[in-house]
């Protein structure tokens, strides 16, 4: 059982990416960061190498020649037996195919890309171009299933929310290491954007990780999360505060998501307001599903939202 601190998480923006360099970050673990910085990727996507002479690569990243060469240089003289992919956004998974062709390693993941729910009539997926629809793992892992190598073992922790097929990977050993990918990151909150993601799934995945006693997270972007339990509670508090803000804006008379975003995210970079609107939609899907908010038809970006009668 865990409790909320009542405080949002403290985000750490001090990460030094060392693009293209294999940086030791823990026993049997190296990190190589892709030079693909941006508002959604921070300083770039982190790939991890786990093991010694026989290794696994976690999230090889996008199709990027410099990053592929950096990976191959770091892997020289070592056998790659597995390529673990956390989810199928194009900054994480596409290079897995080239790396497999080069090394013969098996690709492991939860499964191919899919949306958290079907598209509604007339709806488009705003992240469709960011999704790696060609990805098919050699091994599909369920929650708690493990792949092993020479001196290491990785256990899949299914954490849907950011995407339906998102998985974190726990490294067996006393260090308490989890590769949290895009589910938990030290530098920012995770994008939860329908239909790829779902807020109810994301919140349940936070609870799933809170049941564990891990010591450090290595995320898909940015530096490590060094106090996972308190950080997770902070993320949960932050999401509940956002949900409360959405309810308050509806009670105040806001009916459109665009109007809610102007107030709730007034201090956020305007470049991120599109993602913020999708985050509000994710909260509204959850609130409508729980009967706290009503709308005509399925929740949508341009729908009208009202407090449920009696609330």
Residue 216 neighbours by CB distance under 10 Å: 18
* Greatest Cα pair distance in the chain: 67
Cα distance between residue 285 and residue 199, in whole Å: 8
Q: Are 67 and 46 in contact (CB under 8 A)?
A: no
Q: Are 206 and 250 in contact (CB under 8 A)?
A: no
Per-residue pLDDT of the chain (311 residues; tens, 9 = 90+): 233 334 678 999 999 999 999 999 999 999 999 999 998 999 999 999 999 999 999 999 999 999 999 999 999 999 999 999 999 999 999 999 999 999 999 999 999 999 999 999 888 888 888 999 999 999 999 999 999 999 999 999 999 999 999 999 999 999 999 999 999 999 999 999 999 999 999 999 999 999 999 999 999 999 999 999 999 999 999 999 999 999 999 999 999 999 999 999 998 888 888 889 999 999 999 999 999 999 999 999 999 999 999 76
What is the structure's pLDDT at 271? 83
Residue 24 CB burial class (10 angstroms; 0-12, 13-18, ≥19) = exposed
- Is residue 8 classed as helix, strand or coil in its secondary structure? coil
Tokens of 209: 């990780």
Tokens of 202: 């994301």
- How far separated are the first and last CA of the chain, in Å rounded? 29
Buried b (16+ CB within 10 A) or exposed e, 170-202: bbeeeeebbbbbbbbbbbbbbbbbbbbbbbbbb
Fold of 237-307: Arc Repressor Mutant, subunit A (1.10.10)
Residue 72 neighbours by CB distance under 10 Å: 14
pTM: 0.95
Contacts of 26 (CB under 8 A, 6+ apart): 175, 177, 216, 218
- Is residue 260 classed as helix, strand or coil in its secondary structure? helix
Cα distance between residue 164 and residue 204, in whole Å: 12
Cα distance between residue 97 and residue 134, in whole Å: 10
What are the φ/ψ torsions at residue 46 (nearest 5 degrees)?
Answer: -90, 125
What is the structure's pLDDT at 1? 27
Q: Where are the domains of the chain?
A: 23-235, 237-307
* Strand pairing report for 293-295 and 23-26: unpaired
- Is residue 272 classed as helix, strand or coil in its secondary structure? helix
Please tell me the CATH code under which domain 23-235 is placed: 3.60.15.10
Q: Residue 70 is inside which H or E element, if any?
A: helix 65-75
Cα distance between residue 212 and residue 242, in whole Å: 25
Contacts of 261 (CB under 8 A, 6+ apart): 273, 276, 277, 280
Cα distance between residue 179 and residue 9, in whole Å: 19
Tokens of 199: 């807020």
What are the φ/ψ torsions at residue 268 (nearest 5 degrees)?
Answer: -95, 145
**In this predicted model, what pLDDT tens digit does every residue of 47-101 receive, in sequence order?**
999 999 999 999 999 999 999 999 999 999 999 999 999 999 999 999 999 999 9
Cα distance between residue 230 and residue 215, in whole Å: 11
């Amino acid at each position: 059982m865990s409790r909320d601190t009542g405080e949002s998480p403290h985000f750490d923006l001090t990460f030094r990416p060392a693009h293209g360099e294999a940086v030791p970050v823990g026993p049997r673990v190296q990190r190589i960061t892709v030079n693909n910085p941006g508002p959604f990727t921070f300083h770039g996507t982190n790939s991890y190498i786990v093991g010694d002479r026989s290794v696994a690569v976690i999230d090889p990243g996008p199709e990027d020649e410099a990053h592929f060469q950096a990976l191959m240089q770091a892997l020289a003289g070592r056998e790659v037996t597995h390529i673990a992919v956390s989810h199928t956004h194009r900054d994480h998974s596409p290079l897995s195919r080239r790396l497999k062709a080069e090394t013969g390693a098996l690709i492991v993941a939860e499964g191919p890309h899919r949306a958290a729910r079907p598209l509604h009539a007339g709806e488009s997926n705003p992240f469709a171009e960011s999704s790696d629809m060609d990805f098919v793992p050699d091994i599909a892992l369920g929650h708690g299933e493990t792949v092993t190598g020479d001196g290491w073992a990785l256990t899949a922790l299914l954490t849907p929310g950011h995407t339906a097929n998102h998985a974190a990977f726990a490294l067996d050993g006393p260090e308490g290491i989890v590769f949290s990918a895009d589910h938990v990151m030290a530098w920012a909150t995770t994008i939860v954007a329908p239909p790829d993601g779902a807020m109810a799934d994301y919140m349940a995945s936070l609870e799933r990780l809170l049941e564990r006693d891990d010591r450090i997270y290595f995320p898909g972007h940015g530096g490590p999360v060094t106090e996972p339990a308190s950080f997770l509670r902070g993320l949960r508090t932050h999401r509940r505060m956002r949900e409360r803000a959405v309810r308050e804006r509806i009670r105040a008379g806001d009916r459109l998501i665009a109007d809610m975003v102007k107030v709730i995210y007034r201090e956020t970079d305007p470049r991120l307001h599109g993602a913020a609107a999708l985050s509000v939609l994710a909260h509204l899907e959850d609130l409508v599903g729980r009967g706290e908010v009503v709308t005509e038809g399925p929740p949508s970006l341009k729908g009208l939202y009202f407090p449920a009668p009696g609330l």
